Amino acid sequence: MSKGLTVPNGYKSALTLRETQHAIKYIKDVFQQALSFALTLDRVTAPLIVTTASGINDDLNGVERKVDFTIKEFDTHAEVVQSLAKWKRMALYRYGYKPGEGIYTDMNAIRRDDNVDNIHSIFVDQWDWEKVITRDQRTTDFLKDAVKSIVKAICYTKRKVSLRYPVLKGTVKEEPFFITTEELLKMYPGRTPKERERLIAKEHGTVFIMNIGGALSDGKPHDGRAPDYDDWQLNGDLIFWNEVLQDSFEVSSMGIRVDEKSLASQLAIAGAEDRMRFDYHKMIADGTLPLTIGGGIGQSRLCMLLLEKAHIGEVQVSVWPEDMAKECAEGGITLL
């Protein structure tokens, strides 16, 4: 079997290909309106490419190779975005947004170094969102409130989808369980981070795992995070229990963004102080950029969860290894 591929026994999609395409559009229409209302967000247009010199492309874990190229008409190096974590904060500043106001956008990216499996593709599609906050809102409670609003929007969308497609019988728990990465480590000592996520998601259904990026008491981080967008003490991943795959299922990564103090601290920990040469980092350090909260919500991930699909290729068109495509076909998984 292809590395990382899971084919559930007896799997068969509840929807036909045509129904699936209609349902994907329906989910996207319903959810983005619910998200916009819940968090007071305007939809804006976002870039697919940025210049290398801008320093605003997302570095993810700091090791992934970007898709880059030169431009014929002028001597500039450009990159396909990996996410819009930094661009959104710059946009809020440029567009003059105030505390309580925010933006969301359709983000398409290519992550060439991602391992492809049931839930990962080299093509990434997200609703990226960002909102201006005040300094006294840089708290765990404020972060939790934003998480609850997103979960409510997801559950609202699920109810609408289930009414339109009654054959979909799955449920989504509306009340998220909050836990820090250190608490999770102590709860399940000796387990890997992925195993800990699976155990806590199976127990609680909807979970927000907080404080991702810094080293835990065992000397290792729960997961990697770039040091220059999320505050590692005020961020997290939103995870659901996926009944089809019988596994934990991340739908969103989000957090309150770095201020001048957490930026300096995290860059030092990561040995990445050289990034302070970029305008983006300088504008955080001198207070020019607004304080914000934001994140990304996987469009294909959400469609996969709500439509009870076994593979992300059932809700998006991408490129897959030949052996994976063959095994999917043999296992009743039809890739778009």
The residues that are catalytic are 58, 111, 126, 237, 250, 253
Two structure tokens written together for 90: 């710059």
Q: Which residues contact 246 (CB under 8 A, 6 or more apart)?
A: 8
Task: Please give the Cα distance from 103 to 88 (Å, whole number).
Answer: 8
Distance CA 208, CA 130 (A): 18
The phi and psi torsions of 334 (rounded to 5 degrees) equal -100, 110
Q: What's 78's DSSP letter?
A: E
Question: Distance (Å, rounded) from C-alpha 153 to C-alpha 148?
Answer: 9
Cα–Cα distance between 302 and 155 in angstroms, integer?
11
Q: Which residues, 6+ apart, have CB-to-CB distance to 279 below 8 Å?
A: 54, 55
Distance CA 210, CA 282 (A): 27
